Amino acid sequence: MSTIAITNVTLIDGLGGLPRPATTVIVEGDRFATVGPSDSTPVPEGATVVDGNRRWMVPGYVNGNVHLLDAWMFMAGPGTIEYLARWEGRYVEVIEEAAQLALRNGVTTVFDTHNAIEPVLAARDRINAGISQGARIFAAGTIVGMGGPFSADFHFAGRTAATRTFVDRIDSMFEAGVGHQLSLLPRKEVRARVRDYLSRGVDMLKIAVSDHIVFTLVDRSVGFDRSYQTFSRPVLEVMVEEARAAGVPVLTHSVSVEALDTSVELGADVLIHANYTLGQEIPNYLIDKIVASDSWAGLQTVHDQHRQGLEDVGSWAAALAGEPYATNERNLISANAKILLNTDAGCPSKDHLADLSPVEREDRPWTIGNDHFHWTQSMVEKGMSPLEAISAATINVARAYGKADQIGSVETGKLADFVLLDQDPVDDIRNLRSITEVFQAGAAVDRAALPTTPLVTAHPA
Amino acid sequence: MSTIAITNVTLIDGLGGLPRPATTVIVEGDRFATVGPSDSTPVPEGATVVDGNRRWMVPGYVNGNVHLLDAWMFMAGPGTIEYLARWEGRYVEVIEEAAQLALRNGVTTVFDTHNAIEPVLAARDRINAGISQGARIFAAGTIVGMGGPFSADFHFAGRTAATRTFVDRIDSMFEAGVGHQLSLLPRKEVRARVRDYLSRGVDMLKIAVSDHIVFTLVDRSVGFDRSYQTFSRPVLEVMVEEARAAGVPVLTHSVSVEALDTSVELGADVLIHANYTLGQEIPNYLIDKIVASDSWAGLQTVHDQHRQGLEDVGSWAAALAGEPYATNERNLISANAKILLNTDAGCPSKDHLADLSPVEREDRPWTIGNDHFHWTQSMVEKGMSPLEAISAATINVARAYGKADQIGSVETGKLADFVLLDQDPVDDIRNLRSITEVFQAGAAVDRAALPTTPLVTAHPA
Amino acid sequence: MSTIAITNVTLIDGLGGLPRPATTVIVEGDRFATVGPSDSTPVPEGATVVDGNRRWMVPGYVNGNVHLLDAWMFMAGPGTIEYLARWEGRYVEVIEEAAQLALRNGVTTVFDTHNAIEPVLAARDRINAGISQGARIFAAGTIVGMGGPFSADFHFAGRTAATRTFVDRIDSMFEAGVGHQLSLLPRKEVRARVRDYLSRGVDMLKIAVSDHIVFTLVDRSVGFDRSYQTFSRPVLEVMVEEARAAGVPVLTHSVSVEALDTSVELGADVLIHANYTLGQEIPNYLIDKIVASDSWAGLQTVHDQHRQGLEDVGSWAAALAGEPYATNERNLISANAKILLNTDAGCPSKDHLADLSPVEREDRPWTIGNDHFHWTQSMVEKGMSPLEAISAATINVARAYGKADQIGSVETGKLADFVLLDQDPVDDIRNLRSITEVFQAGAAVDRAALPTTPLVTAHPA
Amino acid sequence: MSTIAITNVTLIDGLGGLPRPATTVIVEGDRFATVGPSDSTPVPEGATVVDGNRRWMVPGYVNGNVHLLDAWMFMAGPGTIEYLARWEGRYVEVIEEAAQLALRNGVTTVFDTHNAIEPVLAARDRINAGISQGARIFAAGTIVGMGGPFSADFHFAGRTAATRTFVDRIDSMFEAGVGHQLSLLPRKEVRARVRDYLSRGVDMLKIAVSDHIVFTLVDRSVGFDRSYQTFSRPVLEVMVEEARAAGVPVLTHSVSVEALDTSVELGADVLIHANYTLGQEIPNYLIDKIVASDSWAGLQTVHDQHRQGLEDVGSWAAALAGEPYATNERNLISANAKILLNTDAGCPSKDHLADLSPVEREDRPWTIGNDHFHWTQSMVEKGMSPLEAISAATINVARAYGKADQIGSVETGKLADFVLLDQDPVDDIRNLRSITEVFQAGAAVDRAALPTTPLVTAHPA
């Protein structure tokens, strides 16, 4: 068992306390063994020593909401056919590529909350088994109640340009028996379907409390002017019961005030993009209800400069980047809601990025590997302190998902996931980018070697 | 006050009992004064005598669900712009024309459950005041939670071919402040909006428990493969409370098993097209729940021959005419659910009809004036006796809407709405078409003079 | 026979010479009788005297290319269904309304080069017979080879939102047997069809040398990146032969360099919107060829300020307003090509205008009544002198169409069509708007009374 | 140099004469050395002997019009993005796979008349150099005047579902500087562009005399109701001049009577799908003109049973399979026009085929490898004798393209391309399928090994 000592480092342990200068952290095997002042913490004999002088140590970043296959693009539409056709049969590799791009940028764990179940579980298992590299993955598979990439929930228009055989094959792979047709079923049948789905080994259950189709079907020129509930209240309660019985966390997808309120009433563990309440600010009574609850609020944020850029070029995404969402973020932050990193990021194709204007590509919040930097910057902009932002991107995610005994902070006994920086993130949150080394479970990551076999990021040559 | 005596008629009073041959019915003013055996019921002096020999008397038909402006076409799409542009400024006349086509065919009262609120209330008031003729109208205005004709709930595609100024003007007229944007509001704001809406004088409140957009936005080639709930459960409860406070009946629009179940749980008075549970048969437990409740089930039905025709020509409407809806109808009938006439019929344009194949035009279930004949025939096909079908098209509707003290049967004290036939409808339900005279509130209707000033049915000349 | 004397006026006779101050013009009946210096031209006894002091007299404007039913909108698309449905059966009135809006603004004659043949000929005949008022109309009916408003040449997308019965009825009315299907026929059959068409009494034959569908079918985002020839060269020659045999002028619709070249080679009398050569400047050799030919060049122009406005708001029409068209205009003007007023203007619906941004509505070049003011201003901007612009808007049009013996200038023996201004148009061409009186065929026009029965311009109220 | 002797075979030499039983054919190296009666033609010493007893020998089939990348699908639309994205970077391999499927079925030479220029020339050169296998390819590259797969000429709608970066990249690859934008250019610039294009080494020049966009842009429900000329007559003449100067054959794409007439007047060598004259029979005068000319007529045919199947299932392709095209074929055959095999076939994706109904897939005329069997069967159905059909599929193609000195018949000195059958094709033309051996340039083809590395035909596994 190897031993590593990081000496004289300024430690930001993720738990929110002040940075501790001159700290020594001893890693034994894959775990943190000792954390203490350098002057009272001896370096074990035989340890590999990493000089932490003029360095800052933060826990490995943990992202509470990614879609490693680029589901954001499925929602945008154009490019989805190309992406899914070009890489068909190689989705496991694409997911791993995305996980490697995350890891290269210090994200040691991700929670993938929407993906094709088989490849994402396969990639998870391959990374866990050390067969492949990448951020550690926990996966929900699909969002229960949502259709595949070519359903009305995403790129329905793609059906006019694709073979039905192909789109049906892909959609089935994503829907996994709990797609949008579930909305038609009686509560008893839903229970059976969800129970069966949970038995496939997913790490959490994500429920579509809101519908999704207004994002994609309605001409965005009329605005997001409606939002529905995918399921009746009794059906939602059935799903939560099944998740509880299976011992996995419950996540909710909501985009309206009432769907958010319903999610809180259901006792969801994580309210994914809780700030998305189309067109309406979250009322004060609901802010209070969230704070008083046990639910964690994922926020999906765009910083001001990028939002302005999206508006300037008339990007449809601007509609998801402005008010009332920023106000919701500010209000949740100032009310001390329990907040976590949540980005929807995935591995975008180069052609998709090339279609965008420079201002849309630059520091893009939905590109894996950049997303958490964008997010933490935006959170500080919206009212968090840098230390709060770091906690929101580390320990909070672990707590929300019930993994705080293993990850999310630099504490004795936890997995030794950490990042070393050479500029002070408390001084400027953007310094989270100043990574010099990434360690995952006690092992130094060869960042330059990631991604190991670029596919998506290497096409076209 | 005039007196009329219909003598020696075979009376089917609408209440379900056996026909009473040799009956005399005395009408004084606008009411039934006496109903009795002809041999013991003297004709008052000075009465106008109508010889009922070889005639059958049934109550004036009462339709529990029409849209006098042709909302069915709004759902179908093409033609909507023409219709609403050509008659803009004259909707009151179009509504009256539809009410006159109904009246000409024996329908003395209609419940319009979706329409532009101002013109439908104006037409209602004009007919009530005797300024205009037509079936007596009770009106819900819009369906709360549903958008106008050019919203995603109906002919959204029409927006690509119309001026925005026009479609927004028309949509606003229909939405009346309680359109689809309501789905975005918190429960407290919904209450205020609904309360305000009720204050405008509608006769009932119709709630969109189901969403509507899958009917119209999604390519029908993929089938009706999803259905949402427009509102959260707390919002629905708020709406029902407001309707109760205003003293008007509650109607629900539902198209899925769960939305139907929710509607019953809400205590809706009328479950509009209760048989529409897309793709899924109503489970037995829910049939039982409906029967045990106080809710009345509107059924929207297509008889077998017409359904076959729709399928033969590939009409999109075939998807609303086959299974599982017919099975639902049979099951509700055999379980003795409380059922009422419900057709969605309106006044279709001649161009719209000309677009249809002959088999679609023939005995069309959504054409006002023909709809109730189609419906009663289909109900007998699905298991009702002719007398039950007649009750479903008369007294049941009155009871469902709380109007049974005034209309729906031939009983002393009620409004003298009735129809004389010269063929026996018990022998063959299609004989409801064999109308010789229609009386509304004691007055003989000049059927040949209806519609009085044809607009829609006279274009193009 | 009435006699009118306009005394002491500054006369701009349309023929291009310098303004003649202190001129007296005597009108007898519908003709100019005498034109001479006021000091040597006595006012006949009994004449009505109009004091022309501080007034400028110009010939009645003559527009060489209008579409009184608003065909520009048919090309734009949205609104076409509404317009044609709302006024169906009343197109003659709409055409007259447009002709009245023209007349009110000093346009005493228009050449309608695309319209539904029956109503436009009916309106022409009614105005000629004095049954109705308006600018004198000469009409081509349709453009031979072009489909109706709902064909691929115009608002094909409207077919998805309209009844087929309606759009086919309207299209047939426009196509009149010489629509786009003509492009499929052998030359011999084309001859027969065109001969038959000419026998219906049109005043000129307009041939679609260019196709039209790229304007309307292809997503404008890819630009106008192609243009075809509607007919083979032998077919074009057949058409010209038939027009010559019938004694009517030949007009060509062209939008590419090669179609323009072909039009000149065919010996067309009028090259409608000769400056439209999509994406390509007219080469010098072709400019020279036009100048050397007998063809008159209609120019369709947008002045700089309006063009800038269209670009600023992203109007699709900007693509027809910028380069290379303005360069073509300048080059044709400087090469002394024979140029005439040509605007495509028609009577737009208020809803269509309301959809536009203020900058698009303001001084709109395609709105009848304003179009010629916009055009003359733009022509001066592109290099014409004010006097040349006035000639282009009067005598040139008359000459191009072979009507110069009757109209187009203030000369003895011609129809007394003229306009009085109170500001000097040579000083500023925009002063053509400063109209105080309009006379048509010797009669003062009651401008305030026009349009006599507003339909289009009065909806919605 | 190897020698092969096929003895005692019944020879159908492709030149139209009666089959010669008991013939011996000697092949030396890649050429036919001797052809004579077996009893007077000795087998050279050392020759490999192939016993031709009960065998029929026909020349290797030569297809005058294929698109090895499946351009037919580009026209159909759906599937195009998948196909071009999945195989991007590997088009050379796909083209070779198609050429191998042809060769496996006896087609030893193909003329690819529309394809991406670089990959098709690369595949041509690789096969010629013996680096790869497959039918010998002669290639036109693109059709001059036609846009790429995502232009309005093909799957324009695909642009709504693809990244612009991708579709522009692919379109450019196909258009090669002579795409649809050429229609906007003056004749002088067209000459320069075409000259440059010819310098890239294409084997023939194919000109879009007809436009193509009505096939793809206009809703097929209105029918193919128009057709344009891509270029003016002077531009067409310029192109022909350039092709003549470069010494390559001229092919024309035409789909209307007038475009066909124009093509004949231009002196085209091959009139591709000469029978396609949308909606109109070719008039007798034009049939006569074709027969009197030097032009060869490619016919694109569908046999009756398949046409019926297409109609039964409502395939859009039915519109290209019925009248008047079959009548045109019969008339051209009975008038003794010079006819050649022409199929538009390419290598279809399995997903595309899976989308089709069984009746569309069965004996599909646009699937490479099956197409020529379908075609010859249909030609016999339309009036050819089996021997004429064989000549049309062999020597005629060679003659039309100026290659009859090398290929197209079994004659001394020509390349030894031939096929052995074990059933008599004169007895039943369908026996052309009864292939036992294929020889190309004197070498036996290992049919079982083709395609050598299946891509398109192996996906999905």
Lowest mean pLDDT among A394-408, B11-25, B51-65, B312-326: B312-326
User: What pLDDT is recorded for position B224?
Assistant: 76
pLDDT classification of D448: cutoffs 50, 70, 90: very high
Residues annotated within a binding site of D for Zn(2+): 273, 344
- Partner residue opposite D180 with nearest CB, options C225, C232, C233: C225
If 0-12 CB within 10 Å is exposed, 13-18 middle and 19+ buried, where does residue C154 land?
A: buried
Residues D50, D68: Cα–Cα separation, whole Å = 32
pLDDT classification of A224: cutoffs 50, 70, 90: confident
pLDDT at C219 over 60: no
Relative to beta strand B20-28, strand B3-11 is antiparallel
- Each residue of D72-103: pLDDT tens digit? 999 989 999 999 999 999 999 999 999 999 99
Closest among C47, C189, C208 to C141, alpha carbons compared: C208
pTM of the predicted protein model? 0.96
Mean pLDDT for the stretch of residues B161-184: 97
Q: Is A183 on the interface with B (CB under 8 A)?
A: yes
User: What pLDDT is recorded for position B97?
Assistant: 98
pLDDT classification of B223: cutoffs 50, 70, 90: low
pLDDT classification of B215: cutoffs 50, 70, 90: low
pLDDT classification of A221: cutoffs 50, 70, 90: low
Q: What are phi and psi of B308, to 5 degrees?
A: -60, -45
Name the residue type at position C98. Answer: A
> Which of B156, B229, B280, B286 to mutate to probe the A interface, most A CBs <10 Å?
B229
Ordered domains of chain D (ranges, CATH):
3-60+409-447 (2.30.40.10), 61-400 (3.20.20.140)
Cα end-to-end distance, chain B, whole Å: 42
Q: Looking at CA atoms only, how far is residue D276 from chain A in angstroms?
A: 26
Mean pLDDT for the stretch of residues D9-25: 97
Q: What are phi and psi of A92, to 5 degrees?
A: -60, -40
Residue B296: strand pairing partners:
B270
- Partner residue opposite A355 with nearest CB, options D78, D163, D460: D163
- What residues have CB less than 8 Å from A365, skipping those under 6 apart? A301, A302, A303, A306, A343, A345, A371, A374, A375, A378
pLDDT classification of C344: cutoffs 50, 70, 90: very high
DSSP state of B404: T
Q: What are phi and psi of D43, to 5 degrees?
A: -85, 125
Those of residues 335-354 in C touching chain B at CB distance below 8 A are 349-352, 354
- Each residue of B41-81: pLDDT tens digit? 999 999 999 999 999 999 999 999 999 999 999 998 999 99
User: What pLDDT is recorded for position A223?
Assistant: 66
Nearest chain B residue to C87 by CA: give it. Answer: B86
Q: Looking at CA atoms only, how far is residue A268 from chain D in angstroms?
A: 36
Residues C254, C276: Cα–Cα separation, whole Å = 7
In total, chain A counts a number of residues equal to 461
Residue D34: strand pairing partners:
D26
Q: Is A226 on the interface with B (CB under 8 A)?
A: yes
Cα end-to-end distance, chain C, whole Å: 42
Q: Give the containing element (helix H, strand E) for C48.
A: strand C48-51
pLDDT at D198 over 70: yes
Name the residue type at position B311. Answer: E
User: What pLDDT is recorded for position B222?
Assistant: 65
Mean pLDDT for the stretch of residues A377-382: 98
pLDDT classification of A320: cutoffs 50, 70, 90: confident
Q: How far is CA A115 from the centre of its chain?
A: 12
Q: Is B140 on the interface with A (CB under 8 A)?
A: no
C160/B354 Cβ within 8 A? no
Residues B377, B362: Cα–Cα separation, whole Å = 14
A218/B218 Cβ within 8 A? no
pLDDT at C300 over 70: yes
pLDDT classification of D18: cutoffs 50, 70, 90: very high
- Each residue of B242-273: pLDDT tens digit? 999 999 999 999 999 999 999 999 999 999 99
A233/B232 Cβ within 8 A? yes
Contact by Cβ (8 Å): D235, D187: yes
Q: Kindly report the average pLDDT of chain C as a whole number.
A: 96
- Each residue of D400-444: pLDDT tens digit? 999 999 999 999 999 999 999 999 999 999 999 999 999 999 999
pLDDT classification of C48: cutoffs 50, 70, 90: very high
B214/A211 Cβ within 8 A? no
DSSP state of A368: T
- Each residue of A131-141: pLDDT tens digit? 999 999 999 99
- Each residue of D217-232: pLDDT tens digit? 665 666 678 999 999 9
Residues annotated within a binding site of C: 273, 344
Residues A7, A124: Cα–Cα separation, whole Å = 33
Q: Please identify which residue in the block is written with the tokens 């459960």.
A: B233
Contact by Cβ (8 Å): C266, C237: yes
Kindly write down the DSSP assignment for every residue of D178-217, as one continuous string.
-SGGGGGS-HHHHHHHHHHHHTT--S-EEEE-B--GGGTT
DSSP state of A204: -
pLDDT at C223 over 80: no
Looking at chain C, the whole-number percentage of residues with pLDDT higher than 90 is: 93
Residues D53, D35: Cα–Cα separation, whole Å = 16
Contact by Cβ (8 Å): A385, A336: no
Mean pLDDT for the stretch of residues A266-270: 98
A85/D162 Cβ within 8 A? no
Compute the CA torsion angle D400, D402, D406, D407 (nearest 10 deg).
-10
User: What pLDDT is recorded for position D286?
Assistant: 98
Relative to beta strand C61-66, strand C31-37 is unpaired
List the chains bordering chain B where 3 or more Cβ pairs fall under 8 Å. Answer: A, C
Q: Looking at CA atoms only, how far is residue D372 from chain C in angstroms?
A: 29
The helix/strand/coil state of A186 is coil
Q: Please identify which residue in the block is written with the tokens 């004579």.
A: D36
pLDDT classification of A341: cutoffs 50, 70, 90: very high
User: What pLDDT is recorded for position A216?
Assistant: 60
- Each residue of C370-391: pLDDT tens digit? 999 999 999 999 999 999 999 9
Looking at chain A, the whole-number percentage of residues with pLDDT higher than 90 is: 93
Nearest chain B residue to A286 by CA: give it. Answer: B186
The helix/strand/coil state of D385 is coil
User: What pLDDT is recorded for position A279?
Assistant: 82
Q: Kindly report the average pLDDT of chain B as a whole number.
A: 96
Count, in order, helices (H) and strands (E) of chain D: 16, 16
Q: Please identify which residue in the block is written with the tokens 């290379």.
A: C324
Q: Looking at CA atoms only, how far is residue B437 from chain A in angstroms?
A: 46
Kindly write down the DSSP assignment for every residue of D4-18, as one continuous string.
EEEEEEEE--SSSSP
> Which of B215, B222, B284, B328 to mutate to probe the A interface, most A CBs <10 Å?
B222
pLDDT at B454 over 80: yes
- C-alpha separations of D432 from C375, D98, D140, D426, D444 in Å: 70, 20, 28, 9, 18
Q: Sign of dihedral through CA atoms C1, C2, C8, C13?
A: negative
pLDDT classification of A214: cutoffs 50, 70, 90: low
Nearest chain C residue to B161 by CA: give it. Answer: C78
Those of residues 249-308 in A touching chain B at CB distance below 8 A are 256-259, 261-262, 277-280, 283, 286
